[in-house]
Amino acid sequence: MLKLTEQQKAIVESDSKTILVNAYAGSGKTATLMLLAEKFNNGIYLAFNKAIVNEVVGKLPPGWQCKTFNSLGLSLVKKHYPDSNVNFYKYHDYSNKTIVDLVNKHISMAGTNTKKSWESTCDHFHIDRGKIELAKKVLKKGKADTSQISGEDMLQYPIDNGWKTKKFDVVLVDECQDLNPQQLAFLDCIPTKRIVFVGDTNQAIYGFRGSDPYAIKNIIKKYKPTEYDMTQSFRCPNEVINEIKHIVPNVYSTKNGGTSSKIKPGAANYEDECFILSRTNNNLFKLAYKFIKNDDHFSIGTKFIKQLKTDLAKVCKKCKTLEDIRKNTVRDYEQALHKASENGWSTTNIENKYDGLLYIIDTAKEVKDIPRFLKSLILHSNSSSKRKLMTIHGAKGLESEIIYFIKPSQCGMYKEKAKSEWEKIQEDNLYYVACTRALNHLIFVE
């Protein structure tokens, strides 16, 4: 039987109809929620992704369901459109990638058809406002086609039509800091006597992808929940916790014996089992190149490689020399910076992307070296190696005995460059997430 802290006990014993639990990294969130779930016979656990569903579903008591938002939404859609087929690329049939990207993001932001709403979506995601009129037509055409169901449709059709799921005694909403406005709106489609939101304000890092950077504030505004904190970290030792006190002053731990240290890149001895985290992709490119050159093992994600392959294909198109490829890259870089400057957008992601591309190009001795590097990366994609190269975003929800944090000062640098307040906050959050992956040893490489 889990021995509860006073904070955990207060949550499990709460009779409030609406609860918001702010659970810090490694605070025993899942175990606490499972004890809370045992009080109910008919509940649903809404998870952020399938990985969390797979982790949680076997721990829930009988009578409970565990689904992603999209899975629950699709079950509603299928009741009303039983002959419809899932097609995540549905809107791609109507226009190009840029327009479809704007359409999907506008839906995720629970956008309306007003000019102001569309402009707000464009500004949030740094998309040219000139794309709005075409995007409006694509959205209208896509919504009218109910024979195909996109990921965004799975929630939007129930919202638009006021469809309801079965009634639940309680709804548990996990990772609520990462909800987008559409997901928050979809909660109105779930009749329930009680709702429990669980999240960590300091782990809100997906604003660039459509998550509401102020999701928890908006939950408080709409639901007026009873709030509880879980501030004790069982994962991280005090030596690690001290590194995030400037961001989260009230976090604490009773675990000792860990280490926090700072080293130069040349002094890094990356153990066979460790996470190597970076705010930006370009640092990982450079390290992967060195590992490949030295025939050292490592693992890297396939999504990471897929995006790099797409970016390189664009700048390498119809080029016969490295000089031509470099000219293309510099031209695209300058154009992207100019467009960002005209619109008052942050240049952080642009600089990260092109710095990485230029490193790969400048390291190559001939054009063939670029596809060779990609092939080598693919061989290391999701390999069995426990020395893992990841962005901070990719490491969220994971933990390792040893964490190497590459160039941690980049979070502060990008915070200074950020144009909006939510972007500044998320740089602090990224720093927090990186540090709190460490079970024992945190090593800053600068």
35-40: Cβ within 8 A, 24+ apart: 35/2, 35/4, 35/8, 36/11, 36/12, 36/172, 36/196, 37/61, 37/64, 37/170, 37/172, 39/12, 40/64, 40/169, 40/170, 40/194
pLDDT tens-digit map of 125-152: 889 999 999 999 999 999 999 999 999 9
Q: pTM here?
A: 0.90
pLDDT tens-digit map of 311-327: 999 999 989 999 999 99
- What single-letter amino acid sits at 407? K
DSSP-derived secondary structure letter, 59? G
Mean pLDDT over 19-35 rounds to 94
pLDDT tens-digit map of 243-300: 999 999 999 999 999 999 999 998 999 999 999 999 998 899 889 999 999 999 999 9
Q: Which pLDDT score is estimated for 1? A: 55
Query: Going by C-beta distance under 8 Å and a sequence separation of 6 or more, which residues neighbour residue 421?
Result: none
> Which region among 71-75, 84-88, 209-213, 405-409 has the lowest average model confidence (pLDDT)?
209-213
pLDDT tens-digit map of 45-75: 999 888 889 889 999 999 999 999 999 999 9
* CA 414/CA 410 separation, integer angstroms: 6
Helix (H) / strand (E) element for 294: namely none
**Is 2's pLDDT higher than 80?**
no
- What single-letter amino acid sits at 338? H
Query: Going by C-beta distance under 8 Å and a sequence separation of 6 or more, which residues neighbour residue 354?
Result: 329, 332, 333, 336
Mean pLDDT over 212-221 rounds to 93
